[in-house]
Structure formats: C-alpha cells, structure tokens
Amino acid sequence: MSGEKQEMRVGMVGHAFMGAVHSHAWRTAPRFFDLPYTVRMTAIGGRDEARTRAAAGKYGWDSVETDWRELIARDDIDLVDICTPGDTHAEIAIAALAAGKHVLCEKPLANTVAEAEEMAEAAAVAAERGVRSMVAFNYRRVPALALARRLVAEGRLGELRHVRTVYLQDWLSDPAAPMTWRLRKEQAGSGALGDLAAHIVDAAQFVTGELVTGVSGQTATFVPRRANGHGVEEDVTVDDCAVFTARLGSGAVATFEATRYAFGRKNAMRLEVNGSRGSLSFDFESMNELWFHESGGDTGDTGDTEGFRRILVTEGTHPYLDAWWPPGHLLGYEHTFTHEVVDLLRAVHSGVNPEPGFGTGLQVQRVLGAVQRSAEDESRWSPVPATAPVRT
C-alpha cells in the first residue's frame, strides 16, 4: 500500500527497571507523536528465560532471546536497545553496530574511558554506513530543561558565570541495605559518580551548550561492606558519593554533587544557572516547572517585587508538549524516555546522527574519569581531554 510507513523492529537487551521504562517508551511514542516509522517490539533479551518471558508478556514484546548475540544476529531486528549493566555496554553495542543495527544505549556509555573510546569509534565507522547510535541521557528530554537550553541559547541569561547541580538519592542510606551489582566496580564501573553524576554532567552541558574542561573532585564510600542475597558480606568497591568543582569552556565555574546517602531525597535532581543578565533554576521533583529571573527583562518587576518567576512548562509551544495534553496537565518521568525514542527515530529517518551520540557519551565519560583521577590524587586539578579525534 503506497504511503505505508516502514517498520522499525526493535530488540531490547535487559528487562529490569530501565527495561520497563524503555518498553513503555517504545509502546507509547508512535501513539502520540507523528513518527516516520511504525514500531514493532520484536524481541527482548535476558539471561533467565522464565523472567524474560514474564517481562515480554508484561511489557508487550513479541519474542524472547536468552543470548544477546542471537538477538543481534536476527534479520528481523533493525535497532538494539541496551538496558544492561555498564560492564556489558561496550561488547553489545560494538557488536550491534558491526551487524548494521542502530543502537540506543543506557548511560553511562561505558565503565571506562577506554571502553567509551572504542564505542565512539565503532559508532563513527557505523555512521559512515548510515547506522546511528545514541546514549540514553533522558533528563535532557524533560520539557523544562529543553526550554532552559533554549533560553540560554537565546542569550536571555547573558554571559554564563555559575552552574550548580546536585543529584540526591537515599536508597543506600541504610547500612543494612543489601549488596547489589551497582556496588561492584567490575559491573558498574563507579557508584554515584557514574549512576547519578553522569546525568547532571550531561544536563549541565546540554543546558549551557558548553563542555566541562577540568575538574577537582572528592569521592567517599561510607559503608565499605554489605551482605549479598546469600548473607555473605562483600566489599563495596565503588563510591557512595562524588563532589567536584569544574570549569566550563567559557570560564564559567560549576559545582556537582551526587550521592545515594541523602535521607529523604528519593530522586532529587536539581540545576541552577546564573549569568550576567539572569538566572534559571530547575528541580526534577517539580519537573513541569522552570524558575526564571531576567534582570531588566519583560516581567515588569522591580525593587521589592523583583525575583524568580515560575513558568509552568505545559504549553503547546514548549518542547515536546504539542503531542500531549492541554496546558496545565502535567507530564511525568516516563515521558522523558518517550521523547528519547521520538528524537532517535526522527534522526535515523533523516539520516543524521542523533544527540547525544556516542561522542557525547565519551566526553561525559572523560569528565567522570577526570573526577576519579582527581579524587585519587588529593583533589588535584584534572583537565578533561577534548573528544577529538572521534568522528561523530
């Protein structure tokens, strides 16, 4: 039938927390957005067949694979979505790209800078053949943060001076909480640094349009041993928190804090930017709001009424919002992943490299690596190498 859309046949590796939200995104995106493809949720992969079949039934996948290599080898898969722990990202992504599959990979891109470099190079080679790849930094798809980026790009804040970001959780605050793969360096690469700080590094760079050029950092592990599921104690081999200062390319100064030990904070991701003409502030716990202050702007407030004003980011003119609900009807966490899928599919269809690509993922990995080096060397200043010569 003429005019019928081509299918994008997706295979997803992993079915836990990220697998659930990615499944929701693949199912939802084509039902709300005008996309160039129809989406077929062709196969889901996991090591345990019973659990994987249960996930397939729950989330709407057509079939199951228990070996990711077999999933990639299938000729009815066009795109591979990687939702596994960090120690598997490089091997799966490089193999998928070599097989001609587009790739969406969860953050952080890899466990080490060396792995990220290999992945970025593989992505660059694949892009020359029209094969695209993207890192899943979902917070840049929050409409309020996308609006913040627009305001900065328009010069509404003037010359940037300060950026401050935090990402606070509390799920490890109890020393009796059990051991998990996220606390093993061989699987996770790092702790709060890679799990949480990767998000706020990307968000800060996305909103400001600038890159981190150097850092001075500290990390700490508060509970050095935890019992695993068999009651056997293991060493915790990653950081529990990371705190670092940074410089951006323009010379603006920035601070970053990430921890999983902030009692009462479930998922508190915050960002504030101060410039020579104004400021903006975002708090993910109120994700549909952006607070904005423009000195001498159009608010009409001066003197004792001057200050931040609340923008409810639900208007159809705001990023992504024209596909959703009437103004004032709020979006949630899951929508950020839907927007991610939308941007990826549109980029693939247009023949352009999506953002954030693997080159961007590598640059974030280099920031994390610089923080680790600094923390190991008494917080000595650690420059962040440029992403060249990556070809993405």
Q: Give the domain ranges of the chain.
A: 6-138, 143-286+288-331
How many beta carbons lie within 10 A of that of residue 205, not counting itself? 23
Topology at the third CATH level for domain 6-138: Rossmann fold (3.40.50)
Please report where in the chains the tokens 């010069």 appear, as a residue. Answer: 155
Element (H, E) at 280: strand 278-283
State the Cα–Cα distance between residues 109 and 259, nearest whole angstrom: 20
Instruction: Dig out the tokens for 392 from the structure.
Output: 């993405």
Element (H, E) at 220: strand 212-220
Instruction: Dig out the tokens for 63 from the structure.
Output: 């079939």
State the Cα–Cα distance between residues 335 and 146, nearest whole angstrom: 13
Q: Which of 268, 263, 88 is nearest to 177 (CA)?
A: 263
At 392 the pLDDT is 36
- Contacts of 45-53 with CB under 8 Å at 24 or more apart are 45/11, 45/12, 45/13, 45/14, 45/15, 45/71, 46/13, 46/14, 46/15, 51/15, 52/15
- CATH homologous superfamily of domain 143-286+288-331? Dihydrodipicolinate Reductase; domain 2 (3.30.360.10)
Element (H, E) at 360: helix 358-376
3-state helix, strand, coil in the chain (%, to 5): 35, 25, 40
Q: What is the pLDDT along the chain (392 residues), one digit of tens a residue?
A: 446 899 999 999 999 999 999 999 999 999 999 999 999 999 999 999 999 999 999 999 999 999 999 999 999 999 999 999 999 999 999 999 999 999 999 999 999 999 999 999 999 999 999 999 999 999 999 999 999 999 999 999 999 999 999 999 999 999 999 999 999 999 999 999 999 999 999 999 999 999 999 999 999 999 999 999 899 999 999 999 999 999 999 999 999 999 999 999 999 999 999 999 999 999 999 999 999 999 875 655 677 778 899 999 999 999 999 999 999 999 999 999 999 999 999 999 999 999 999 999 999 999 999 999 999 999 999 999 876 543 43
Q: What pTM did the predictor assign?
A: 0.95
Q: Which of 390, 391, 375, 357 is nearest to 136 (CA)?
A: 357
Instruction: Dig out the tokens for 73 from the structure.
Output: 């080898």
At 296 the pLDDT is 72
Whether residue 356 is preceded by a cis peptide bond, meaning omega within 30 degrees of 0, is yes
Across the beta sheet with 309-312, the strand order is 309-312, 289-294, 278-283, 268-275, 160-168, 253-259, 241-248, 212-220, 382-383
State the Cα–Cα distance between residues 54 and 48, nearest whole angstrom: 10
Q: Which of 187, 140, 162, 166 is nearest to 242 (CA)?
A: 166
196 CB-contact burial (10 Å; exposed 0-12 / middle 13-18 / buried 19+): buried
At 391 the pLDDT is 40
State the Cα–Cα distance between residues 19 and 48, nearest whole angstrom: 14
Instruction: Dig out the tokens for 313 from the structure.
Output: 């980011």
At 389 the pLDDT is 43
Please report where in the chains the tokens 């090591």 appear, as a residue. Answer: 47
Instruction: Dig out the tokens for 145 from the structure.
Output: 């943060």
At 67 the pLDDT is 98
